Amino acid sequence: MSFGHAMLAHWALDPGVVYLNHGTVGVAPRRALAAQQAIRDEMERQPSRFLLREVSGLVGQPRAEPTRIRVAAETVARFVGARGDDLVFVDNATTGVNAILRSFPFEPGDEILVTDHTYGAVARTAVFVARDRRASVRTVTVPYPAFNRTRFVEAIASAIGPRTRVAVIDHISSESALVFPIAEIAAVCHARGVALVVDGAHAPGVLPLDVPAIGADWYVANLHKWAHAPRSCGFLWAHPSRQASLHPAVISWGYELGYCAEFDWIGTRDPSPWLAAPEGIAFLHELGFDAVWRYNHGLAVQAARLLADRWHTRFEIDDADIGFMATVPMPDRCGSTGDAAARLRDRLLFDHGIEVQVHAGHGRLWARISAQVYNELSDYERLGEAVLKT
């Protein structure tokens, strides 16, 4: 299959906008949206039967066959190398982290370990839980922008203290787009008796995953970013030893019925994104996982180098340390504050028709570009010129 602008036919994106921000909230392909709408249409013909019998199994005689949520979960689990019984759906990775941290038996004086690249909503969750339990949050500084995997793992090991109970570490960081050596981090944490939550929000569809082999206690991720599911659709995987004590942030009819039952039904809601997730995975398989990796990763690397050259900045990240996104330092004259980032992002969209993530940090502005099969190098050339004109 030929990738590039011809692939835009598979998405409903505005043709007047160059979309370089696939990683933020995802873009569902038409195929997944059509599957979702068919599920909604079916649900509306017999809502009670669909939701209470087929999705949740809350009413009626005991079922011989699995519920539709469990069937979909089994497909997703195979995609990430896991068992269906160890995986539940959540709205997004942040929801999953909330469930984990709010279920954990922290005591006063305990510590949660995060990094300065932890996603903002997740970092705030750690602060909230720590304050509620009279625990604390310790933040590890990631070597950046000159990233070094070995030094990062050593920094985490050095930061673990006698009261560190849980570490929350990204698989692919959101702003910097770095791919962290998560298996090595898991080994370090477990050697010191620390439980590990992996925030894999950007990983499914980018990295080949064998979630149990990573060695984490919990793994949360989004499927609506790179795995082509409709939003909002994520999953939470828990090691079997961690499931009995894990509860969703919203307690409902599944309470005390087991791990899967608790998460599969937390009240009346639209389950269609979860049920349509297998269609998004099927689309990715038809595109060819390896072919998508070669194209998107290669494009992200090439585009990052092009932009750094055009802006006379330095892109210092090794190819192996990024996936389908790259974060490039912008020219000094663009500014260095959050307000400057917001203004520039707006001007790029409303004046130049380019949607891209821009943020402030480390004394300057950065552009985090995404590469998807509908993008071409000319999209990033347009971004490069637009910034110079802004």
Give pLDDT tens digits for 330-361. 999 999 999 999 999 999 999 999 999 999 99
The pLDDT of residue 2 is 87
Instruction: Kindly report the number of other CB atoms within 10 A of residue 256's CB atom.
Output: 9
Report yes or no: 346 and 9 within 8 Å, Cβ to Cβ. no
Q: Compute the average pLDDT of residues 52-75.
A: 88
What count of Cα atoms within 13 Å lies in the side-chain half-sphere of residue 180? 32
The pLDDT of residue 272 is 98
Handedness of CA 294, 201, 39, 74 (dihedral sign): positive
Report yes or no: 355 and 13 within 8 Å, Cβ to Cβ. no
The tokens for 316 are: 């210092």
The pLDDT of residue 59 is 78
The pLDDT of residue 323 is 97
What's the rounded Cα separation, in Å, for the pair 335 and 265?
A: 47
Would the pLDDT of 1 be above 90? no
Domains of the chain, first to last:
5-31+288-389 (3.90.1150.10), 46-282 (3.40.640.10)
The pLDDT of residue 65 is 87
The DSSP output letter for 203 is -
Would the pLDDT of 60 be above 80? no
Instruction: Kindly report the number of other CB atoms within 10 A of residue 200's CB atom.
Output: 28
304-307: list long-range contacts, CB under 8 Å, 24+ apart: 304/328, 304/369, 306/377, 306/380, 306/381, 306/384, 307/367, 307/369, 307/380, 307/383, 307/384
Percent of the chain's residues with pLDDT above 70: 100
Percent of the chain's residues with pLDDT above 90: 95
> Closest Cα partner for 255 from 9, 12, 2, 58?
58
pTM across the whole model: 0.96
The pLDDT of residue 104 is 98
The pLDDT of residue 390 is 87
3 state DSSP class of 218? strand
Would you call the peptide bond into 232 cis, given omega within 30 degrees of 0 as the criterion? yes
The tokens for 169 are: 């570490």
Sheet-wide strand order for 357-361: 325-329, 364-370, 357-361
**Whole-number Cα distances in Å, 242 to 86, 103, 197, 259:** 10, 10, 11, 10
Query: Which of 93-97, 182-186, 250-254, 352-356 comes out lowest in average pLDDT?
Result: 250-254
Q: SS3 breakdown of the chain: % helix, strand, coil, rounded to 5?
A: 45, 15, 35
Q: Compute the average pLDDT of residues 203-230.
A: 98
What count of Cα atoms within 13 Å lies in the side-chain half-sphere of residue 156? 32
The pLDDT of residue 57 is 83
Would the pLDDT of 62 be above 80? no
Whose structure tokens read 């000159």? 146
